[in-house]
Structure 1
């Protein structure tokens, strides 16, 4: 066994390049996530337009992530990942140039959002498939932990940096922020994609890492995964429950939080601080889950439903804030709760699903939130034309509590244990 296989994760060259590229790209993404809603609101002032942009970025990911994952398995994840990085750099560079020069239009934003979402549909499965082909098996648990923690750190640092950029910007027409500052935010994301492509080029696949030429046809493989989830009652119950949560809550928050910063707090930097608080909370929640892996006070299902009920109450409170620090405190708590539950959910799926089906099961899980949340986001934009933002937070939080109560009373979800009694059958 080589030194690369026995040394610690930080001494593995491939992992260092992947971590560096991931840190650059994820941090840059936060600039776009902060600047894009502000650009749309500055161009239109219309929450419906913001909902449409969110949907245009999310729908292609939802449609293509399942076949995209199957295709990546047949080809080189590194090559697919490299292409998506260059494509994203071109798209963001175009958006940066249009915004900087003041020639950006809502139609151009729609088109570029759609193309960015399509690139992400292939970037996500290629990214998850890359790590096992670049890092030896004994290092994978530590490598996955580092990647997950790095993602949450980027969700903390990126919004803070973006908020700082917007805070020092001169006043302008885009929701009070200068257009050239928003263009600079998109340009920063473009550069991070180019730098992460450079780091990816330094990654060398492990000897023997190859695609599975004997795999079944793409659509049949997707169908097999769906059938496996449907036959397993606990999996089916949880996936249907998460579908309801994504439909009633997930997309609504993508539209509501930028509007909260714009209409209630009246500040572009405030949005960055809110997102940073949520990211920091998720990091704390994941750390807490790591420190208490053997906590068995309640079953997995009961813990999940109770956590969602608490999250619903916090969302209802969020609609009544009038200061940034209040929103940051509530989003810190929401993030901590989400981070803790996310670790439990991923652990439960990994233990429940046979290894040869895990990739498809995880892609279905991601599909739920990427497919239903954008529909919810688009609907939220329409709903906000008829109700206030505070009422939206109240309705969303109440819907989450109702979903959790329904699942507790009328489904076997509360009895689902973290460790299954028997392996799931495929």
Structure 2
């Protein structure tokens, strides 16, 4: 049996695209840790932390549907290249402000908002690039390799960021000790510049775009198609609730946990790195074969219930290794679910609607998670960390139980792959 990865690794387009994507994801991890930590150091306020997370995600979520429609109209490479140049400039300004000691909350929040707006167009452009770069017979293998390398970069990034903060400072000693944060933004800035250069080397395959359609009409058609599909609609609503817990609460709770009980930003890097390592293992396990507890729906709901139970002791830990152990297990389960869910959507949705459906899927996660993060910041100022983690875990486990009892999700089955 031929190994499809061999011709892919000889494909100039794929190698350039994969290399640039991995570099960009690696750099992003530095900003994902440094930005909330910078806000905490500037304000010491959980509400401000929640606001910064919301500004990084909410505008992106609102505009990502329009970004996906525009990418369908214009070349993905053109849109993606523009966003990479914009992000390079924004991160350069942020790094200079932090290094010079002139970073203040209004300026930081304004730059966070600008980064969010740029990513609203960069994310759908990036997810649309691969079919334009490789031949259709190798698309599945290319997706698998890109997802694995992306997760490896997400694993290495927090660990490297934690090491950088440990060596260069994370701002805990005052403004004069923020050089580590400035370097983190500089690393991400450099990653965007390099990935823009690698993207310039990619020569897209010939493609005839569909007939032009008003952006609002295109977005509305995609929304209507998902809404008419009862099972797909139910799954999206349920996954949105999960996003509020995992994507929202954890973005606030983990930094607060590292700040109050552990060893600062370096501990946060270790916690996120452990989650990334687990997710990589979970993706590998999911790629080997279809392991199910009954069917796909029952498996997904069972895993969500287990993750909810695991969140409860996370609020009680007193050492980094304890949090790393729990996060590894959560990551394994999450990585397994991610591959299964993406594959199910790709197999169920017609190809001509897949781009808008995936944009809606990302909208659900990116829109609700920032709102949940802002609410979590407000709650965190009024309750203890164990209550925050325990409440989040109870909500996730309860949502899984209710979905099993009252929705068709428990009958969800793997769809057969469609023919090309």
Tell me the distance in 1 between the aligned counterparts of 2:100 and 2:83. Answer: 26
Post-superposition offset of 1:246: 2.0
Tell me the distance in 2 between the aligned counterparts of 1:422 and 1:409. Answer: 30
SS in 1 for 2:161: helix
- Contact kept? 1:30, 1:155, Cα under 8 Å: yes
- Alignment partner, residue 384 of structure 1: 380
Note if 1:19 corresponds to 2:18: yes
Greater shift, 242-251 or 256-265, is seen at 242-251
Tell me the distance in 1 between the aligned counterparts of 2:70 and 2:324. Answer: 41
Gaps of 5+ in 1: none
SS in 1 for 2:382: coil
SS in 1 for 2:383: coil
SS in 2 for 1:265: coil
SS in 1 for 2:204: coil
Post-superposition offset of 1:266: 3.2
- Contact kept? 1:41, 1:174, Cα under 8 Å: no
Tell me the distance in 1 between the aligned counterparts of 2:195 and 2:322. Answer: 36
Note if 1:334 corresponds to 2:330: yes
Tell me the distance in 1 between the aligned counterparts of 2:418 and 2:114. Answer: 43
- Alignment partner, residue 234 of structure 1: 231
- Contact kept? 2:67, 2:120, Cα under 8 Å: yes
- Contact kept? 2:167, 2:180, Cα under 8 Å: no
Post-superposition offset of 1:247: 2.8
- Contact kept? 1:261, 1:267, Cα under 8 Å: yes
Greater shift, 99-108 or 20-29, is seen at 20-29
Tell me the distance in 2 between the aligned counterparts of 1:166 and 1:177. Answer: 13
- Alignment partner, residue 309 of structure 1: 305
SS in 2 for 1:8: helix
Tell me the distance in 1 between the aligned counterparts of 2:173 and 2:235. Answer: 41
- Contact kept? 1:282, 1:338, Cα under 8 Å: yes
Greater shift, 247-256 or 176-185, is seen at 176-185
- Alignment partner, residue 8 of structure 1: 7
SS in 1 for 2:78: helix
- Alignment partner, residue 242 of structure 2: 245
Cα deviation 1:161-214 (Å, max 9, x = unaligned): 1111111125754679921111111011101111111111111112x22432x1
Note if 1:219 corresponds to 2:216: yes
- Contact kept? 2:170, 2:179, Cα under 8 Å: no
- Alignment partner, residue 360 of structure 1: 356
Cα deviation 1:201-240 (Å, max 9, x = unaligned): 111112x22432x143221121111111111111111111
- Alignment partner, residue 70 of structure 1: 69
- Contact kept? 1:177, 1:268, Cα under 8 Å: no
- Contact kept? 1:166, 1:177, Cα under 8 Å: no
Gaps of 5+ in 2: none
Q: TM-score, normalised by structure 1?
A: 0.94
What CA RMSD, in Å, does the superposition of the two structures yield over aligned residues? 1.9
Q: 2:411 aligns with which of 405, 412, 415?
A: 415
- Alignment partner, residue 43 of structure 1: 42
Cα separation, partners in 2 of 1:171 and 1:24, compared to 1, 3 Å: closer
